Structure 1
Amino acid sequence: MLDLLVSPLFQIVALGLAGIVVWHLQGRSRPTARLLVQIAFFAAMTAILFANGISPLKFEPLREGGAMLIAAKTLWWVHLAWASIGFVRIYIVLDGKPREARVLQDLIIAAVYLAVTLSVLAFVFDFAIGTLLATSGVLAIILGLALQSTLNDLFSGLALTLGRPYTIGDWIILADGTEGRVAESTWRSTHILTPANNVAVLPNSFLAKIGLTNVNRPDESHLLVLPLRVKAVHPPSFVVEKMRQAMIGANNITHDPAPAVALKGIDAFAMDIELQFRVRHPSDRIPARNELIDLVYRQCMETGISLALPAASSVFIENIHTDHSLPDPLRELLQDNPIFADLEQDELHKLEVSARLRRYRPGDTFFEGADSASGLLIVRSGAVSVLSDGKEVLRLAPGAIFGQIDGVPLATKYQALTVLEAYEIDGPTLASLFKDHPEIQNNVTRHLSGLTGNGLATGSSREEHVSILRTVRGLLGK
């Protein structure tokens, strides 16, 4: 028994097994302590081996106690592998790129395990590694041909991981039109959550070949273009300015940088223009485009700009340069607004007669001060900024209604962003209308409450709503 305890091979095996136990007791949360344990036990095992003339780097014929020799050498190679892996896990780090660092670590660890496995076969069991490698090479060729598609996806996934054209959560647009947010990325495929709320699974080899646009870089805002073709009955500078004014009133686009109008071409019948604007997020594209189309339509109706047929259309055009008589704008503005949509024609006529068309310059403010007269303004052309505590909360475009009523916080005011034309309906005219249509009174109250509350018509505080309603009723003498 004593001879067994003093045997170097037994000591190596005992150290190896003890090192494994201590290594597990350290836990994953203490990688540095694990590495020190691995190095200490590996150094002790190495010292015993070489002190007794046992080399783990060459095969020794088995003799009595051969099983103990195999166990000792195998444990030595295992501890060498674990010490190397512990070093890799701690010190192979790419600053700011944890995913790439983990991939690199996994590749190095796989190489360490492969090298240790071949070393054990060669130096412990005396396998002919050359023959094994030659045989495995033939097998690798056969497997490579059979798994060509899978391996292509695998290495493409590695290239995409290291190149980082996108990360989880990015919104990407592929050259074939597929778009969505990256939900998951594996070694073989990438999962994209599309706007239709479906998951598109794309092989990594496909993504590595096709061009893609990452909308999230440098941020999610990106440029959109709305093409237009208008009849050449106005100077181009006039059309550019009116389209610019229409875009200034949009709320679903960004205004820094400012939207632009680009002239693309002109012929005898029409001019081609592009409205270039940016949105904050991909989800804003449809609302922004819808809003701009509505604003452009309103602006064209108010300014006499006519849309033209596509250049490919062949039609007979007569009197293209004759003057266009504009429709009565106030009546159409009132009819298009849900608040006044149910009024009879004679009631609309009364409002038209009493309303006055006002013109303002950029920077002019409305309803400043507690003594401002009550009334409503309906934007005919131009854009208005709604300011609360000095910050812009909303932009108003043609057709929008705003006004001042006692009780509205003084921090809220309206400012013209462009040359502005607006119809003014005074308090007495509104009072007469509200007597016959109390539902319009409630709708106006809710509308103004939404504008002055938070700019998004999502509801104001109960106290402000009650104060505004009390003031409107005061106009009626109630």
Structure 2
Amino acid sequence: MLGEDHSLALVLINLLGLAGIVVWLVQGRGRPMARLIVQILFFTGMTAVLYLSGILPHQVVETDLQGAGAYLARSARVLWWTHLAWTLVGFVRLYVVLEHRPREARLLQDLVVAAIYLGVALSITGFVFGAPIGTLVATSGVVAVIAGLALQNTLGDVFSGIALTLGRPYALGDWIMLIDGTEGRVVETTWRSTHLLTGAGNIVVLPNGVLAKLSLTNLSRPDATLQMSLTVRIAAAHAPHVVEGVMQAALRSCERIVREPAPLVALKDIDATAIGIDLLFWVAGPGDRLAARNEVIDLVYRHCEANGLALAMPPQSYASVPCAIREPPPATLVRPRSSGAL
């Protein structure tokens, strides 16, 4: 039978554990800080009672397993281990919330939480109920091998998702472009796949195992600004500095491009018919590319028309126009006149 001191301590631990569960449920997930404080307070109180009473949660005493008090002893230890798991999980979730990455770090968070619950479950099985943990772990290892072979592709996607989460090549909200030309905004990451919202409004689902093997470009880092270029050919009827000034005026009047970095006008080449120019400008994000390009083209045309500049034909058009080759007239054979009489 249990001693009177142990009985009171175990009853108090059970009451604290049940009260902690009720308060934990009432707090809800919307208040992670308050929920963690409640968990710490109840767990600290239960630990203090165990320590002052000389009860070890990881060691089962023979007298604890005799009589009706065995139920109190087991329930007290189960509640203590449960509150330990909730306290550790609360710290993990609070860290994710404070880092302002609740969705981005969901894979890593779920992995840590699963490891905590698995460790606590094994501890309860071995320390509270006295089951042989070694045999249980060995059996579960065989089952894990069989399940791993059956779910090889799925597990590959899962571990690739974990690697992508740890490496952080992109975050939720980033606009990425794959090596095959697929691009879109990252809107969701799960254990198995990553979801991209394309410019056409479609959702592309990429398995994490495939995504981890592809080269990608993050268009949102180090910032969301994106460089664009437009090639223009102006007829070589004006000096290059005049053409450059007109192009700079056209870019300065564009409202859909950013001012920093400033747009640039690069004179690329010149020949007898045209001056080649590259217009370099930056937009606020990938979603502004189409509208900015349309405005720049329109403004270039307007400024050329207002300043008397003419657009030149592309070089390929000259090569496609057949040249008229005029052949010389055939030579006329002139016989010399004889001076002798007939």
Normalising by the residue count of structure 2, what TM-score does the alignment of the two structures yield? 0.73
The match for 1:175 among 175, 179, 185 is 179
In the alignment, which residue of structure 2 is the partner of 1:342? Answer: none
In the alignment, which residue of structure 1 is the partner of 2:196? Answer: 192
Query: Kindly tell me: are residues 58 and 16 of structure 1, through their superposed partners in 2, closer, same or farther at Cα, counting changes over 3 Å?
Result: closer
Matched residue type, 2:232: L
1:331-410 matched pairs, under 5 angstroms? none
Query: Kindly tell me: are residues 130 and 194 of structure 1, through their superposed partners in 2, closer, same or farther at Cα, counting changes over 3 Å?
Result: same
Q: Higher relative CO (CA 8 A, sep ≥ 6), structure 1 or 2?
A: 2
In the alignment, which residue of structure 2 is the partner of 1:128? Answer: 132
Query: Kindly tell me: are residues 87 and 137 of structure 1, through their superposed partners in 2, closer, same or farther at Cα, counting changes over 3 Å?
Result: closer
Counterpart check, 1:40 vs 2:41: no
Shift of 1:311: 4.7
In the alignment, which residue of structure 2 is the partner of 1:142? Answer: 146
The match for 1:306 among 279, 303, 311 is 311
Counterpart check, 1:24 vs 2:21: yes
Give distance in 2, aligned partners of 1:77 and 1:112: 15
Give distance in 2, aligned partners of 1:22 and 1:74: 14
State the secondary structure of the residue aligned to 1:256: coil
* Counterpart contact for 2:57–2:80, Cα < 8 Å: no
* Counterpart contact for 1:70–1:124, Cα < 8 Å: no
Shift of 1:277: 1.0
Query: Kindly tell me: are residues 177 and 184 of structure 1, through their superposed partners in 2, closer, same or farther at Cα, counting changes over 3 Å?
Result: same
In the alignment, which residue of structure 2 is the partner of 1:93? Answer: 95
Shift of 1:115: 1.8
In the alignment, which residue of structure 2 is the partner of 1:279? Answer: 283
Give distance in 1, aligned partners of 2:160 and 2:106: 17
* Counterpart contact for 1:192–1:200, Cα < 8 Å: yes
State the secondary structure of the residue aligned to 1:182: strand
Matched residue type, 2:145: I
Give distance in 2, aligned partners of 1:194 and 1:55: 54
In the alignment, which residue of structure 2 is the partner of 1:75? Answer: 76
Give distance in 1, aligned partners of 2:63 and 2:11: 22
* Counterpart contact for 1:222–1:279, Cα < 8 Å: yes
Query: Kindly tell me: are residues 219 and 101 of structure 1, through their superposed partners in 2, closer, same or farther at Cα, counting changes over 3 Å?
Result: closer
Give distance in 2, aligned partners of 1:105 and 1:162: 11
Unaligned residue ranges in structure 2 (runs of 5+): 325-342
In the alignment, which residue of structure 2 is the partner of 1:223? Answer: 227
Matched residue type, 2:16: G
* Counterpart contact for 1:263–1:274, Cα < 8 Å: yes
* Counterpart contact for 2:156–2:209, Cα < 8 Å: yes
State the secondary structure of the residue aligned to 1:314: helix
In the alignment, which residue of structure 1 is the partner of 2:332? Answer: none
1:288-310 per-residue CA deviation (whole Å, 9 max, x = no partner) reads 21122223234444534332324
Query: Kindly tell me: are residues 63 and 240 of structure 1, through their superposed partners in 2, closer, same or farther at Cα, counting changes over 3 Å?
Result: closer
Shift of 1:126: 4.0
Give distance in 1, aligned partners of 2:113 and 2:222: 34
Between Structure 1 and Structure 2, how many residues are aligned? 312
In the alignment, which residue of structure 1 is the partner of 2:254? Answer: 250
In the alignment, which residue of structure 2 is the partner of 1:324? Answer: none
Give distance in 2, aligned partners of 1:135 and 1:4: 35
* Counterpart contact for 1:77–1:116, Cα < 8 Å: no
* Counterpart contact for 1:184–1:192, Cα < 8 Å: yes
Matched residue type, 1:256: E
Shift of 1:208: 3.4
Matched residue type, 1:136: S
1:193-252 per-residue CA deviation (whole Å, 9 max, x = no partner) reads 222222222223344343444444454432111123455565544433332233233232
Q: When you count strand as a share of all residues, which structure comes out higher?
A: 1
* Counterpart contact for 1:42–1:76, Cα < 8 Å: no
Give distance in 1, aligned partners of 2:271 and 2:71: 90
* Counterpart contact for 1:74–1:120, Cα < 8 Å: no
Give distance in 1, aligned partners of 2:225 and 2:274: 32
Identity of paired residues, percent? 42
Shift of 1:186: 2.6
State the secondary structure of the residue aligned to 2:261: coil
In the alignment, which residue of structure 2 is the partner of 1:57? Answer: 59
Normalising by the residue count of structure 1, what TM-score does the alignment of the two structures yield? 0.54
1:440-460 per-residue CA deviation (whole Å, 9 max, x = no partner) reads xxxxxxxxxxxxxxxxxxxxx
